[in-house]
């Protein structure tokens, strides 16, 4: 009898603590906030793309990056125009700051974004009038200078970003116009020559909504594998709307995993205001719907083979830092942290999805 009474008392105590209060009436968190973090709770790397100015000047922003992430990407600081503004000028200041931040705050992995893209190009590239061989040399020199500079410090690169249209045809970017369809393969070879240990990704958006694009990317990867072109993973941006179907999300993740290469959900954000409603406010119902979608993405990703889980990166840290409201021209709250870096329901849903 004594034992039963003892067991009941213990049970009552445990359940009152779970609710966040102790017998004395003082509130205690179930898990102290400082003990929880995405990097501790998830069985794969979790990171964010960061803005270097905010990292330098906003302590709360930097604290979230330090505490929560074990992988980090530069939002803009490693793009072509930022690193290589003139033909013979490289500007490493911001990228170096990021690499140093990653190294001195718990040896975070740095993912490089991005070597070759049709955007963020300086005018000396877009106005270049030399012949095809000279343009090839620009591409090769840029890739090899950047990859060599960060050899041993940047673990992986988005070698080429967004080379396909949603229809599945190759985007007629300046690179393709000047260098032909096979420029993508050569970018991977150049990057691999500069750092044979770097993990090389092809990165793009639309895997979740365009089967034509997804198929074109998968076919390119298979072709690269057959030809011995060094490619190691698929980056799926996943800038998505909360109304995206679970079926489409799992089709995209599983198709990328079926290549046998690594999968990086590389730019995740889940927007709530795709209809661009002006004056919309963030409600509990919206937070719940968004949390469920984040949870589904994480759960589905976590189910692929462990060796293929390169990780998940959100595109920036808190809602106020996101590119989405500016792009939509309307309010939105696409990230797991709010404007003052408080954890949203999406945050807890990410953690619960791997339990």
Binding site for ligand GLA (CB under 6 A): 161, 205, 237, 239, 267, 323
Nearer to ligand GLA by Cβ, of 318 and 345: the residue is: 318
Which strand (E) or helix (H) includes residue 185? helix 183-194
State the DSSP string of 18-72: HTTB-TTS-B--SS-GGG--HHHH-SS-EEEEE-HHHHHH-HHHHHHHHHH-SEE
3-class state of residue 115 by DSSP: strand
Backbone φ, ψ for residue 275 (5° rounding): -85, 0
Q: Give the residue from 334, 327, 311 showing the smallest Cα distance to 73.
A: 311
At closest approach, how far in Å is the CB of 328 from ligand GLA? 12
d(CA 233, CA 257): 9
72, 47 contact by CB (below 8 A): yes
Nearer to ligand GLA by Cβ, of 64 and 266: the residue is: 266
At closest approach, how far in Å is the CB of 216 from ligand GLA? 17
At closest approach, how far in Å is the CB of 113 from ligand GLA? 6
3-class state of residue 296 by DSSP: helix
Give the active site residues.
162, 267
Nearer to ligand GLA by Cβ, of 136 and 162: the residue is: 162
List for the chain the helix, strand, coil content (%; round to 5).
Answer: 45, 15, 35
- Which residue has its beta carbon closest to ligand GLA? 323
At closest approach, how far in Å is the CB of 323 from ligand GLA? 4
Nearer to ligand GLA by Cβ, of 324 and 350: the residue is: 324
Nearer to ligand GLA by Cβ, of 161 and 273: the residue is: 161
290, 296 contact by CB (below 8 A): no
Nearer to ligand GLA by Cβ, of 69 and 323: the residue is: 323
> Which class for 283: exposed (0-12), middle (13-18), buried (19 or more C-beta within 10 A)?
exposed
At closest approach, how far in Å is the CB of 9 from ligand GLA? 55
At closest approach, how far in Å is the CB of 224 from ligand GLA? 20
Which strand (E) or helix (H) includes residue 271? strand 262-271
207, 213 contact by CB (below 8 A): yes
160, 176 contact by CB (below 8 A): no
């Amino acid at each position: 009898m004594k034992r039963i009474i003892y067991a009941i008392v213990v049970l009552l105590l445990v359940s009152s603590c779970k609710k966040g209060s102790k017998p004395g009436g003082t509130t205690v968190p179930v898990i102290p906030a400082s003990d929880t973090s995405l990097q501790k709770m998830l069985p794969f790397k979790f990171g964010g793309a960061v803005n270097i100015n905010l990292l330098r000047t906003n302590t709360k922003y930097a604290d979230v990056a330090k505490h929560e992430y074990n992988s980090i990407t530069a939002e803009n600081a490693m793009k072509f125009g930022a690193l290589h503004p003139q033909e013979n000028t490289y500007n490493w200041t911001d990228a170096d700051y990021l690499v140093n931040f990653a190294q001195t705050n718990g040896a975070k992995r740095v993912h490089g974004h991005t070597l070759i893209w049709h955007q963020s190009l300086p005018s000396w590239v877009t106005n270049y009038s030399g012949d095809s061989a000279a343009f090839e040399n620009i591409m090769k020199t840029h890739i090899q200078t950047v990859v060599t500079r960060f050899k041993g410090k940047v673990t992986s690169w988005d070698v080429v970003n967004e080379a396909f249209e949603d229809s599945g045809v190759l985007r007629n970017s300046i690179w393709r116009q000047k260098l032909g369809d096979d420029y993508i393969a050569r970018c991977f070879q150049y990057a691999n020559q500069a750092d044979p240990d770097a993990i090389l990704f092809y990165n793009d958006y639309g895997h979740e909504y365009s089967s034509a694009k997804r198929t074109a990317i998968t076919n390119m990867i298979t072709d690269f594998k057959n030809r011995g072109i060094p490619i190691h993973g698929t980056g799926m941006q996943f800038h998505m709307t909360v109304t995206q179907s679970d079926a489409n999300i799992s089709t995209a993740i599983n198709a990328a995993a079926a290549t046998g290469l690594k999968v990086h959900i590389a730019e995740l954000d889940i927007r709530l205001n795709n209809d661009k409603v002006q004056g919309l406010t963030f409600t509990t119902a919206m937070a719940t719907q968004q949390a469920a979608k984040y949870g589904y993405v994480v759960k589905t990703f976590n189910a692929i083979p462990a060796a293929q889980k390169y990780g998940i990166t959100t595109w920036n840290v808190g809602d106020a830092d996101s590119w989405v409201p500016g792009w939509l021209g309307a309010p939105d709250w696409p990230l797991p942290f709010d404007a003052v870096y408080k954890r949203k329901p999406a945050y807890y849903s990410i953690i619960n999805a791997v339990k």
